[in-house]
A = this chain, B = another copy of it.
Amino acid sequence: MSELTLRAVPITRERFAPYGDVIYASSDSRNAMNDARFEHFSRLADIDVDTESGGVPSISIARCKAPMTLPYRFDLVERHPLGSQAFVPLSRFSFFVVVAPPGESVEREDLRAFVTNGKQGVNYHKGVWHMPMIAFEEGQEFLIVDRGGNGENCEEHTFGDPVVLLAE
């Protein structure tokens, strides 16, 4: 068994651009709204959902039931060919994402790991391979914005050998 070790780097818009969007209130996307009672950070992520196949963009919540710890060992990644998928924490907490570019196949060597700063969410672009979400505390909640409805929208790939995710 040959383990591949991944170290997470802090997520930034630039680093994550090949895989998706980083969702947070940043000064470079600021506007006023409602007579300047709010600052508005516009279009941090677009929702890209295939509706011809019967899908509809929708909002869900996921609540962590079985917390994980690092180092975290996994051998499975998934992708959603019919739509983007956003995860935004509903309280301040950091989380880790592991991604690889979209495509029919994926190799362990294509994987990159990122860690958020507690105020950021992510939006995986359509078809981007990613590790299924993990969280570190029971009860942590993510708001999810993705494709609802019927259709084959989850492909999985299992690697022959495991990957080990470490902190920075």
What residues of chain A have their CB less than 8 Å away from a CB belonging to chain B?
A: 23-25, 33-47, 49, 56-66, 68, 86, 88-92, 121, 123, 132-135, 141, 143, 145, 148
28 A-B pairs (CB sep. < 8 Å) = A23-B59, A23-B61, A24-B61, A33-B62, A37-B132, A38-B66, A38-B133, A38-B135, A39-B63, A39-B65, A41-B60, A41-B63, A42-B58, A42-B148, A43-B60, A44-B58, A46-B56, A46-B57, A46-B148, A47-B47, A47-B56, A47-B58, A49-B57, A59-B145, A89-B90, A90-B90, A90-B91, A91-B91
A66 vs B90: C-alpha distance when bound (angstroms)? 22
Secondary structure call for the A interface = strand
Complex interface: chain B residues within 8 A of A47 (CB)? 47, 56-59, 145
Complex interface: chain B residues within 8 A of A133 (CB)? 34, 37-38
A63 contacts which of B25, B56, B57, B63 (Cβ < 8 Å)? B25
A64 contacts which of B38, B41, B68 (Cβ < 8 Å)? B38
Closest to A35 in B: B132
